[in-house]
A and B are shown apart, each in its own frame.
Chain A
Amino acid sequence: MLLEVEDLHVEFRTRDGVARVLNGVGYHVSAGETVAVLGESGSGKSVTAQAIMGILDTPPAFVTRGSVRFRGEELLTASPERRRAIRAEGVAMIFQDALSALNPVFTVGFQIEEQLRLRRGMSRADARARAIELLDLVRIPAARQRVREYPHQFSGGMRQRAMIAMALALDPEVLIADEPTTALDVTVQAQIMDLLAEVQRERRMGLVLITHDLGVVAEVADRIVVMYAGRIVEQADAVSLFRAPGHPYTAALMRSLPRLDAKGAALETIRGLPPSLLRIPSGCPFHPRCPRAEDVCAARVPPDVPLGPGRSSACHFAEEVVGG
């Protein structure tokens, strides 16, 4: 097991009160495995990733409970130096908006090379050569010239490729991709996903793919983690999840996907809005929006109901849901 997250609790202490952003999140990633973390905005996908990397903005964010382990080593209590050593070498991360995530005043090459020079002690020339190799690897044409260009001179897709190259520079064992294709147009999205899948296969990396796009998930994920209001509501391997969702929220997400065979019919939506994290509903946080909620849903937090190997759903009626 490369990366394990267990019972992670994070809260944001704001002026308006304490927002419970993560309420016991746990998932794990093995080498060569792609885990997709699925959920709406505000469900805690990115915060989990930032907690793993140790790059939460503290304050306002505080990890209050839980465990993050890389190769069995606890990270939350590790020294700042140790955590820094694991960043990018052990676990690397790429971000959603590559334009703002890259530093506008430095060349793309500089931003790849500085890690190599600082952390691998490479000379300027060696680092430059390696940066060109990396840009080649992520299929940026004319890498030798483009290494000298600034992020704003790249197109959206090329920028995301450059960011992937940057994340791969120190050969990480786990790559966390936080909505890597959200800011891109559809054709470029597919190219970037193919690229990620390819480097993941070749390097046998663990890949955590954060997304709200079910379509993306279906193609590349081995396992899927569905998050809602800072909790994991369902975990399953991709095949069984798509065959029969085990949580009403997952089922609703899948129904809200446009389908070719339902052409002309109105697209289903999930009624209501995700809850405010300052006032998470009692019991099951999804119950105000759930089509099959009963009294018990508002009263008790549902346990993780096991639904076969590696599969669980946090729903009082999990077995009925998965059975159709």
Chain B
Amino acid sequence: MGRYVLRRLLQMVPVFVGTTFLIYVLVWAVPGDPFEGKCGERDCPASYITMMRERFNLDDPLLLQYWKYLVNLLQGDFGVTSSGVQVVDRIAATFPVTLRLALVALLVEAVIGITAGVVSGLRDRGFLDSLVLVSTLFLISIPVFVTGYAVQLVFGLQLGWIAPTVTTPTFGNLIVPGFVLASLSMAYVARLSRASIAENRRADYVRTALAKGLPTRRIVGVHLLRNSLIPVITFLGTDLGAFLGGAIVTEGIFNVPGVGGLVFRSILTKDGAMVTGVVTVLVLVYLLMTLLVDLLYAVLDPRIRYD
């Protein structure tokens, strides 16, 4: 196990270098000077442009620029934005919000998705089964921005049950945005659990458990569920990685001050240092989440060995 983790961590190095290089090139090597148009209606003064070009090493060859960026990065220095704000500070301010939103969404997705999937998987072709199939299809077909605006309009503006925008990002205030963010994955989780339960409930080991005279609750809750949830939990893990990448649409609709919005605004304002910084963090988070999911898989299914 230890060797496996070490190997996986080492594999992350080239992936990390590759992705950050790619994003660096995409952000800084696009045609056009990044500092033109930063001064409102007027042209920027030459002195400003020279200063900024120097600060961001833009006169060096691209590879050298990237090298300098990487060296700084490894020392924990994410650089400053064109307006002189520390990139690290902005990430530190927004990431906890995104983390909170992601956890709410994961909880919603897991609890509702798995419950719906298990209930419908246990009885094929009943009313509940059809209900789950149709409603998940409905959710999958609707883009998140429609769900988001509809929820905001109905519950926030017409019924007034919730504040239409998030003023302070507490867990409580993030429940509705969490629902919206989770809606699509929740439908997938429900369908995945349903298929998995339906497949496993006729398995031989379920019949054995029945023959052992175990109560139905235990057969379903222990024997069936434990086997059926292996693919679901790995799906949830990868999904959490995606949620942590920020939700540009959901955050935008509900005005949640998270990473998604930060990236979105930075791209619009061509704030290269911020974009590269945030994406670098997200790459790391996603790599670690994937490793975690793979390790979790071995914990859930003893047949998987990594030695």
Contact = CB atoms under 8 A, between A and B. Distances in A.
A103 B302 contact: no
B211 A104 contact: no
B204 A97 contact: yes
B207 interface: yes
Given A104-B302, A105-B301, A105-B302, A93 B205 contact: no
Of B203, B215, B218, B302, most buried by chain A (CB within 10 Å of CB) is B302
B300 interface: yes
A280 to B, nearest CB: 26
A152 interface: yes
B208 A105 contact: no
A53 interface: yes
B215 A84 contact: yes
Interface string A67-93: 000000000000000001111110011
Contacts of B227: 103-105
A114 interface: yes
The size bracket of the interface on B is 20 to 34
B215 A104 contact: no
Interface in B14-43: none
Interface string B48-88: 00000000000000000000000000000000000000000
Contact of A85 (B202, B205, B211, B213): B213
B203 to A, nearest CB: 7
Contacts of A85: 213
Given A55-B207, A95-B208, A106-B226, A152 B214 contact: no
A101 B208 contact: yes
Contact of A95 (B202, B207, B226, B230): B207
Contacts of B301: 104-105
B205 A150 contact: no
11 contacts: A53-B210, A55-B211, A87-B210, A87-B213, A88-B211, A88-B213, A95-B211, A103-B205, A103-B223, A104-B205, A114-B222
Interface of B: 202-205, 207-215, 218, 222-223, 226-227, 230, 300-303
